[in-house]
Structure 1
Amino acid sequence: MNKHIVSAICGCLFIVNGFSQDKNIEELLNEIEQNNTELKGYQSFVESQQLENRSNNNLPDPQLSGFYLPFGDNATGNYTEYQISQSFEFPTVYAARGKWNESKSQQLASAYANKRLEVLLKAKNTLLELAFLQKRKAIETERKTQSKQVFDQIQRLFDAEQVGILDLNKAKIAWIQEQFVVEQIESDIRILLSKLKTLNGGNAIDGVTSGIALPIEVGTVESLWQEKLAKDPLLQELKVNETASLQNVKLEKNKALPNVALGYNYQGVSGSNYSGFYGGLSIPLWSSKNKVKAAEASYEYQQSNTQVVTTSLYTQFQETFNRYELKLEKYYEYQTTMRNLNSEQLLFKAYMLGEYSFMDYYIELQFYRNASDKMHQMEKELQLLQAQLLKHQL
């Protein structure tokens, strides 16, 4: 069957029990983004780096120097000299460094965007895990209730000497196992809620109770990849790194120009003095040696790295997309087949009416439950794969 038809048919099949009607998954993720301490700390780091980068483009401090020479024969009086000067790099350097700082700010912004996606994807996966655990808890709680009813019935039959001790023990073990499964799920839910609380800056996540439908249509592989190229921060960071590297080449070329110093100088003895303007020029024979070549080599590396990383990411993306499409098609086939199986409720009614012995009922029940659990597991895996594919949309 055509994969797109499968996607369209299955689009309405996924119901994730775990998000309240007044708080959908986007609202919960927005709350986590606002409260997450790691993101807040990274924002402060970005701000500090941006301020430090701007400070590197300041002028050097003015210099004031003076001489007072009272010792010696002083035939013409004490000698006095002072000078105030301001040095600076060639003016075009500041413009080039300013553009370089803008590129570095974009790098920091891209790094923050990557960190944000990291945190939000982790939070989304945790929310999905929590939703499916809550769904499974409801299922296992119902199974536990049925197991208790079966055990009570076997106990009555045993008391009436209509069944043996083996059937009674098997029924009790089945009930105990279901109790343990529910308790284990409750423990896992508490662990996930604790993780969400940490991600939410120490604030408990509220409103994770009822269900909301999440679409599973992700589009074609090429359209989704083009969307990722335009929006994915990791891919955008590669372009930003190229731009910053190219701007660094321009900066190093400008830094090869002479530095300049201007000032005022005064010299004098009693009754006689001289004053005027001071000017200086540095000749960068050694300080800029090989720096332009190094910057150009770095730029060439960034261009090559962009191509290599983009190709690698595209390969990984295709693998994830193909796994998603294959699992989606198999999920559809699995669900179609499951419709032809007797449900647990029908099996339970048949058993209570005496149509099945305990062992026949238990074997049929385990077969159905295993099939049902497999389908729910596939459903969860599909949602997690989708979260990975649509990470750039967070």
Structure 2
Amino acid sequence: MTKLIISLYCVLLTTTVYSQTGVDSLLSQVGRNNKAIQANREYQLARKAEFKTGLTPYNPKVEYDYLSGSPASAGNQRDFTVTQQLDFPTVYRSKRKLSDQQSIQSDLQHRVFTQDILLNAKLEALELIHLNKQSLELKRRLSRTNQLVSDFQKKLDKGDAIILDVNKARLQLLNIRQDVMMNDNAIRQTLTRLKEFNGGTDVTLTDTIYPPVTVLPDFKTLDSLIERNDPILQVFEQEQLIRQQQITVQRRLNLPKIETGYHSQGILGQTYKGIHGGISIPLWENKNRIKAAEANLSYANFNAVNHKLEHQLENRQYFDQLEVRRSAMAEYRTLLSSLNNVALLDKALRYGQITIIEYAQDESFYFDSYSKYLQLEAEYHKALARLYKYTLD
């Protein structure tokens, strides 16, 4: 039994080639079932429809006037007018281009929203893998301690042990049972949160192996890769294009508007028909709008630069966390895989070289060290997930 436990420790601690897990499958389900993603998709479709408004000419205007004359011999006057106001022709092309750019940004914003949901779901899934791994070790400890209590009870029955030793073993068993219960409760809570991410559909994830880890490039290469593909940065860059196009639209809106139409007039039995034409002179209506648009562009430029810097520093922190945790994990793996504490403790207890209290303390110390390794491993994979957030779809 002891040899089996040690072998399992070595497998868990020295594995460097990972098999495929169910995390990717889970994220695919979340992408399909998550209610917030579905709602945001409909919201972005509504926004894209809104962006397409105002691309056509204004509504035509129809007027009819009936004027009765006084005295009666003056006759009555009838006027009928149909007019259509038009922006300068280049305005419509500029507005369509602006609409297309806004639609592109809407798609990017939906992708950012989706990736936030998927990242949070992935972090929960990684935490669940951590808890599953911890559960395996806790249940091995529980089984081993159960056997220990049973052995001490047999020794007590034979007169080879005292009741104090049995009670201490039972107390150790109770402590481990509580640890198992707390860990199982944490697993249930994590599954509940994953169920919420999955649109209320139950989730099953019993994996104890993390997703495959690719070889990390140096930070400069990785940051450049993130910058080229991260939709958050693309949203800010698209905002700059939109603000620039709004300036173009606003300048063209400052050009005169054209009004054309048909006019008919009837008076004293005579009818006059002809073409109506007019032009609006942009003196006051659009005053300061170009300045406002230019200020918005300047704000978008500064915002993009600031976010790019913040994002780079944030990525640097996650990258440094990987380096620190990878180094610490390697030290734990090397040490824990070379230790034979469980076998030594069992042997020492069997031959009376240590007391049950000393056994429990040393065994707990060994488990605490292994738990710290598992925590480091979980934090490593979570930092990795945050760095590669841009790959989530």
SS in 2 for 1:257: coil
2:360 match: 362
Kept in 1: contact 2:63–2:81 (CA 8 A): yes
Range moving further from structure 2, 209-218 or 36-45: 209-218
Distance 1:11 1:185, change over 3 A: closer
2:255 match: 257
Range moving further from structure 2, 339-348 or 37-46: 339-348
Q: TM-score, normalised by structure 2?
A: 0.90
- What's the CA shift string for 1:139-167, capped at 9, x where partnerless? 11111111111122223333444434432
- How many aligned residue pairs are there? 380
Amino acid at match of 2:283: L
Kept in 1: contact 2:263–2:276 (CA 8 A): yes
Whole-angstrom distance in 1 between the partners of 2:289 and 2:221: 42
1:268 match: 266
Whole-angstrom distance in 2 between the partners of 1:154 and 1:219: 55
SS in 2 for 1:339: helix
Kept in 1: contact 2:133–2:208 (CA 8 A): no
Instruction: Give % identity.
Output: 27
Aligned: 1:13 with 2:19? no
Deviation at 1:240, TM superposition (A): 0.6
Range moving further from structure 2, 159-168 or 130-139: 159-168
1:121 match: 119
Distance 1:146 1:228, change over 3 A: same
Deviation at 1:138, TM superposition (A): 1.5
Kept in 2: contact 1:245–1:302 (CA 8 A): yes
SS in 2 for 1:130: helix
1:194 match: 192
2:3 match: none
Matches within 5 A, 1:232-247: 232-247=230-245
Amino acid at match of 2:122: K
Question: Which of 75, 80, 83 lines up with 1:82 in the alignment?
Answer: 80
Deviation at 1:275, TM superposition (A): 0.8
The two structures, once aligned, show a CA RMSD in angstroms of 2.2
Kept in 2: contact 1:62–1:86 (CA 8 A): yes
Deviation at 1:245, TM superposition (A): 0.8
Amino acid at match of 2:323: E
Distance 1:209 1:316, change over 3 A: closer
Q: Which runs of 5+ in 2 are unaligned?
A: 1-12
Aligned: 1:25 with 2:23? yes
Kept in 2: contact 1:11–1:216 (CA 8 A): no
Distance 1:15 1:175, change over 3 A: farther
SS in 2 for 1:265: strand
- What's the CA shift string for 1:297-356, capped at 9, x where partnerless? 211221122112211211121122112112101211221121221153564465456564
Kept in 1: contact 2:149–2:169 (CA 8 A): yes
Deviation at 1:265, TM superposition (A): 0.4
2:378 match: 380
Range moving further from structure 2, 33-42 or 280-289: 280-289
Matches within 5 A, 1:1-394: 13=16, 24-206=22-204, 208-209=206-207, 211=209, 213-215=211-213, 217-344=215-342, 347-348=345-346, 351-352=349-350, 356-394=354-392
Deviation at 1:79, TM superposition (A): 1.3
Range moving further from structure 2, 32-41 or 363-372: 363-372
Distance 1:67 1:259, change over 3 A: same
